[in-house]
Chains A and B, each alone.
Chain A
Amino acid sequence: MANKQYQFKLVLLGESAVGKSSLVLRFVKDQFDDYRESTIGAAFLTQTVTLEDQTTVKFEIWDTAGQERYKSLAPMYYRNANCAVVVYDITQASSLDKARTWIRELQRQADPSIIIALCGNKVDLAARRQVLQEEAKKYAEEEGLMWMETSAKTGEGVTEVFTAIAKKLPLTAPPPRSGRNVAGARTGVDLNKQASGQGQNESCNC
């Protein structure tokens, strides 16, 4: 029997140096780099998760730059995203504030059906913890977000975050897998919605 395959767009947001790129690297390649250069841009990666019922979910992941100066470009990357992982650093209280800002922005600007996961990274540094689990969890519950803590360094919780999201995604209408053209295939995204959202101006784009 052929497996059901789905494809979804996922975007990572959060303050600079909270470990967004490290989370993705751990998830996609199961690697960790102690000294990663800060992302200046947006990296595109893909990874597939197989669920218990043999359904596979392929994530198209956009890992964005966290630096403040590039904040204005973020909407380009989270538009049409099906899910977002907003990351904070449990050893930096200010990074949770920043995460709240991102979440507010997503709730206002992104697709209303977007699934947001709040993710506290660097639990391997629990000794220097500044953000209490209760505090973050309470906030997540209030806002209706998924919440978990991870360590990109040890790998703790990383796969779980993505699997949990995959389970929560609306797995209807199985899209076919479409060959090599990974970036071109945007199955799991409602293209009609995008067209109508841009209204009449769409024609100039053709």
Chain B
Amino acid sequence: MSTEDLVASFLSPSEQVKVALETQISSDNNEAEVINVLSDEKETRILAVISHFDEWSMTEEGCVFVCSYKHLNNGPGSSKDLHIQRAYPIFGRFAISMAQNRRMTLDVRTGAVQPAAQPRTGFSVTIHDPSIRVPAHTYCTDDVKKLQQFVQECKRLKELFEAPEKTEKQLSTQFVWMAPYVNELASLSDLLSDIPPDLRIVNEPLIDRLSHCNAGLPGDDIADLRLIRDFWIRTKGQELCLKGSYRLSVRIGTFNVNGKLPSQDLSTWIGGPASLPAVQGDFPSLGIYTDETQSTKAPDLKHLGPMNSSGPCPSFTLPRDESDVADSGPDLLVLGFQELDHSAEAYIYTTNAAKEDAWCHAVIAGLGELGPRYDKLISRQLVGMFLVIFVRKPVAPYFTDVKTGAVGAGLMGVMGNKGATAVRLTFTPKQDDREGVNTPKSTVLTFVNAHLAAFDEMVDRRNVDFHDLSKRLIFETRVEQEEEIEEGIDASIPWIGLFNTDALFWLGDLNYRIDLPDIDIREILSSKIWENKDGIMQEHDQLIKSRRTGKAFTNFHEAQIRFPPTYRFTPGILTDGYNSKRKPAWTDRILLLAGPTVKIRQLSYSNHPKITMSDHRPVLADFEINVGLWDIEEHEILMHKLMRESRHMEEAVGRSMLKVLTPTVDFGKVHYMRPAIRTVKLQNTGKVPTTYRFVPIHGETSIHPSWLRIEPMTGILLPDDIAEIAFTFFADNVAARTLNLSERALKATVILHSLLGKDHFISITGEYQYTCFATSLERLTRLSGPVRTLNSPLEYLPDHRAKNAPREVMRLVNWMMAGSARVENLFFTPAEDVYIHSIRECLDTGDEFPYPPGSEDDRIHLAFGATLLQFLESLSSPVVPVFIHERCLQATDRDEAFESLDAFPSSSVNAWISITAFLHYICRSSQDPVLRAKRLASVFAPVLMREERAHVLNPISLLGKQRFILYFID
């Protein structure tokens, strides 16, 4: 294969290779090689003159590509590969200069051309880019004949461009044909950069990053194409190159020390929880993370990303003396301190070495016999904020390129009383560790220790602080000119953003509080009555709410908190007693944001009440980080290959090559809370790769109805590829509230847009099975029969014949009246789904329950209890409407409480009375009626008097609600 043919093999058909000249990079070139030169080919550059003829304007344009060879050096069958390194459009200031230079040395290596046959002279060619900002590059060649052709072609194309009749051309049309190649160059330099992409972008679903468009109004298909392609190449590249993973254990702690010096043994904190694996089940790994705080869980959808695939990839641990039981500590110990120094000078002088040293010594001492096995790797202090990382000695060499940053966010936005310090580490597996991985890819870990604005009402300030720190915390890069020029990386980036990392841990005194009345928090904390007290209070935690509403820490993960608030205590006293001056709060937190190159499992999240020297209690979390192992060279070659495979997509204009093999999806009978999955198959029947995305019908609406999920929403199909898209029906409470009032027959159309091509319609049908859940009490009292017997969802009884209470509530209560009272843990112990489903089905159909009342089996009773609670939670509006909550809480005795029933809607009164009467009945038959009543009231208060999340600005006291219910059941 000639050099010309080789170059032509990776061009679009509309481009022609005029000359391909083989050269060596010049020794006095500023394009110096940084890699060890193993063969001549590493220094070889092909200079190719490419011409493009545009039939529309009948013009010819040209460019010069500088290409280099790449070899996959394992195995004899490996083929040569050319990568474009540079592209010069031939116009304007583009110029070529030549010089004859005398060859100083002879090539006498074996296999080289006989010394006598080697020409004594060579020519050097220097290419000057049209843009003067790009430096000129020089190459050497002996091939005089080709060089002449090369120069002639360049001259011809330049003259052609400058011909007077061509100057009228619109500038926008010039060299557009080069765009794919230049885009590829830009994409590849992004994809191959050793700076990871921004985690905030990586964690946003790809479909949300694409341009806005809808049916009939395509967005920017070319830009979308590039985004989808780059995502595909990145994902696929990692997937195919993944050789295994390294397991790193990282322990992270945060402690606001309130200006104190260490006066206690820190081992109870940094020594970690007594038994690690015991809590594993509570902390799902990030790859399959579902937010536990959500009331209803969606089914797990297929996740992309290589680290989620459970392939046979081996997992490696770092050097550790397995025989030595003492050698069991984490690889990294990361500790963030706040308020290290309260002294006035601290605000002027940014570091106080004495306090730093005292704490570092205390940490080493706290590690006990593990202490001598650790070294301090790095630390960074800014006034009171001090972040320090200790590393297990044998793994220290794996961490390089350590950078730190610090930013103040307090008074005037610059003083260091609030703010953050950060450390960025690069983890690189050792080259000699694994066979087949000569140049292992690095992984970047970043840690932020922050202290955000204080006080209850300052939640917005804290959110602003977060965004401010996110923007201003940056790391300086060392500038290595040669490397950057060689790889085509933009040398003008002098710093790296905080989020350009593979994993970001954010710890510190974030100062978020709980939006509940002070008395509620103290009562709930000290009482033995409240079940799931942490869960109830976390509903009102400002950080969790900010995260959920996207105001700050969007896409960050935090394990469920299963420890009491860590603030504010009276220092030195070992009790659970919170200081009376501040509302107790979970101020001290550890959060995580990770990309697809790592898989992280959180093993623990705990507080440490024995460390009492401060007004805060320290918090600790253990993580297992699985870092992917890739070979950089192999990865790079594969990326180029994938780029080439996915090329020509731009040529797809107007050709319909994507075929939807399943244009209709029928879900059949579908039920509330029961996912149903169907597969839609696509095929690329054309000859070039094709890309698709789903688009909304109208600009304002979403792509699909709320009961439907589609995964994946974007994709690439190479010629002949068949792709499967999962369509999942899932009716949660929100979706079911609409479905219950709609036609039984589901009908929807979704639009799959092939980029630069057709819109395909996929029609979806199904038969929804009505449920009495997720509707209103009012509607249930007006229905002529069980929901499943209705012909239409709007088949109502006339007003005067409305039921006085929903039959579904009465059926549940009646069943439980016969014998459930004896089950002491009714409503407190979770029940089995299979029974709950069957009870719900009977409520919907009107069938008899398959379980006789007064059953011997406690599990059945628990299931009835759980069904009642779930039913109440699913209602579109709570039994007690939000607007009368305040009035209810004003009741100071039983009579007033009963009087407030006048304000209840008629459909609620009887449901309320029958439920509370039943609760009253089971309390009376209890051994400790008062305690049981309080416990029941604490469970039913948040359910019967539920508040929609949007209205919790000024929450009504939970204790007040509990008291109100007690007037009825005690």
Contacts and interface: CB of A to CB of B under 8 A. Distances in A.
Interface of A: 2, 28, 40-46, 62, 65, 69-70, 72-73, 76-80, 176-184, 198, 201, 204-206
Contact of B218 (A40, A46, A183): A183
Interface string B169-181: 1101100110100
B214 interface: yes
A196 to B, nearest CB: 15
B654 A2 contact: no
Interface in B647-671: 650, 653-654, 656, 660, 663
Contacts of B650: 180
Nearest to B660: A40
Interface of B: 56, 168-170, 172-173, 176-177, 179, 212, 214-222, 650, 653-654, 656, 660, 663, 697-700, 749, 751-752, 756-761, 763
A69 B763 contact: yes
Contact of A179 (B176, B749, B759): B176
A45 to B, nearest CB: 5
Nearest to B755: A183
A45 B179 contact: no
B961 to A, nearest CB: 36
Nearest to B219: A184
A42 B758 contact: yes
Contacts of A41: 660, 751-752, 758-761
Nearest to B179: A180
B756 A183 contact: yes
A184 B222 contact: yes
Contact of B757 (A28, A44, A73): A44
B164 to A, nearest CB: 13
Contact of A77 (B172, B173, B215): B215
Nearest to A72: B749
A145 B176 CA distance: 40
A184 B757 contact: no
A176 B170 contact: yes
B218 A42 contact: no
A178 B172 CA distance: 7
Contacts of B56: 177
Contacts of A183: 218, 221, 756
A65 B172 contact: no
A179 B654 contact: no
Contacts of A70: 749, 761, 763
A64 to B, nearest CB: 9
A151 B614 CA distance: 89
A51 B212 CA distance: 35
Contact of A180 (B215, B222, B697): B222
A76 B656 contact: no
A132 to B, nearest CB: 34
Q: Which of B169, B217, B751 neighbours the largest number of chain A CB atoms within 10 Å of its CB?
A: B217
Contact of B697 (A76, A80, A176): A76
Contacts of A181: 220-222
Contact of A40 (B212, B214, B697, B761): B761
Contacts of A40: 660, 663, 760-761
A181 B224 CA distance: 12
A43 to B, nearest CB: 4
Contacts of A73: 215, 697, 749, 751, 761
Nearest to A183: B218
A203 B215 CA distance: 19
A198 B700 CA distance: 11
A42 B749 contact: no
Closest 3 CB pairs of A and B: A76-B215, A77-B216, A41-B760
B215 A184 contact: no
Given A40-B663, A40-B761, A181-B222, A62 B216 contact: yes
Contacts of B758: 41-44
A143 to B, nearest CB: 24
A46 B759 CA distance: 15
Contact of B761 (A65, A79, A177, A198): A65
Nearest to A43: B758
B863 to A, nearest CB: 43
Given A28-B654, A181-B220, A198-B699, A42 B170 contact: no
Nearest to B650: A180
Contacts of B757: 43-44
A204 B215 contact: no
A45 B749 contact: no
B201 to A, nearest CB: 18
B700 A201 contact: yes
B176 A180 contact: yes
Contact of A42 (B660, B663, B759): B759
Contacts of B217: 76, 79-80
Nearest to B653: A182
Contacts of B749: 69-70, 72-73
B700 A205 contact: yes
Contacts of A179: 172-173, 176
Contact of A206 (B212, B215, B654, B752): B212
A172 to B, nearest CB: 19
B697 A182 contact: no
B296 to A, nearest CB: 27
Contacts of B752: 41
B455 to A, nearest CB: 34
B216 A184 contact: no
Contacts of B219: 184
A4 B758 CA distance: 28
A135 B43 CA distance: 78
B212 A44 contact: no
Contacts of B215: 42, 73, 76-77
A28 B655 CA distance: 11
A54 to B, nearest CB: 14
A113 B811 CA distance: 63
A27 B458 CA distance: 66
Given A204-B700, A205-B700, 18 more contacts: A41-B759, A42-B759, A43-B758, A43-B759, A44-B218, A72-B749, A73-B749, A76-B698, A77-B216, A79-B216, A80-B217, A176-B170, A177-B56, A179-B176, A183-B221, A183-B756, A184-B222, A198-B699
B374 to A, nearest CB: 52
B760 A46 contact: no
A184 B654 contact: no
5 contacts: A42-B758, A42-B759, A180-B177, A182-B653, A184-B221
Given A40-B761, A42-B759, A43-B757, A176 B700 contact: no
Nearest to B211: A184
A177 B173 CA distance: 8
